[in-house]
Amino acid sequence: MPQTNSEALAPTLNMLMNGEFRAAHIYFQAAAWCEDAKLAGSAQFFLTHASEEMMHMQKIYQYIVDADLSARFEALPEPKIEANSLVSLLQEIYQHEKLVSERFIKATKEADQAGDLSTFEFLQWFIVEQREEEMLFRGILDRAAVIGDGPHSLYYIDTEIAKIAAAAVAAASATPAGGGA
């Protein structure tokens, strides 16, 4: 239970909570995009990731209400996937994760400046999580680059992503508290 009064950070915490909800929404749409493209491994990966974002959203929601603040959910914009290939979809998502990381870093600095050590400490978890997210997507893009543009490259990339999704599910069931990469 947070001890400090985090009222000054309430708008920022709500912004972050809604951001995680939007991320889940985008990942669900990315999963659907992969289903349309018959990329079952990638679809599973994005579904797993969408659930993770929902957990992040709930983690922030819980922090807000435990701090005796008000959680405010906003309307979700339509998640638009502009990509026309799996690699460009992954690049789009990678750029999105980088923006999310910047938001958490900015919020952490804000908590520090406000002397809100409780929120500062709470946000550390997300800083680590975002670093892992960026590494994950960079890793997938690197593998896709190694596989290249051969005749069966899409199949191999999808298989690699399916392996990552399976590993993420195994890691999540090994740590019941949730989180992970």
Contact footprint for Fe ion (CB under 5 A): 20, 53, 56
For residues 53 and 20, give the distance between their C-alpha atoms in angstroms, rounded to a whole number: 6
Measured from the CB atom, is 39 or 60 closer to Fe ion?
Answer: 60
User: Minimal distance in Å, beta carbon 156 to Fe ion?
Assistant: 28
User: Minimal distance in Å, beta carbon 10 to Fe ion?
Assistant: 19
Measured from the CB atom, is 125 or 155 closer to Fe ion?
Answer: 125
User: Minimal distance in Å, beta carbon 59 to Fe ion?
Assistant: 9
Measured from the CB atom, is 57 or 154 closer to Fe ion?
Answer: 57
For residue 15, what are the contacts with CB-CB under 8 A and spacing of at least 6? 103, 107
DSSP 62-92: HHHHHTT----PPPPPPP----SSHHHHHHH
For residue 77, what are the contacts with CB-CB under 8 A and spacing of at least 6? 22
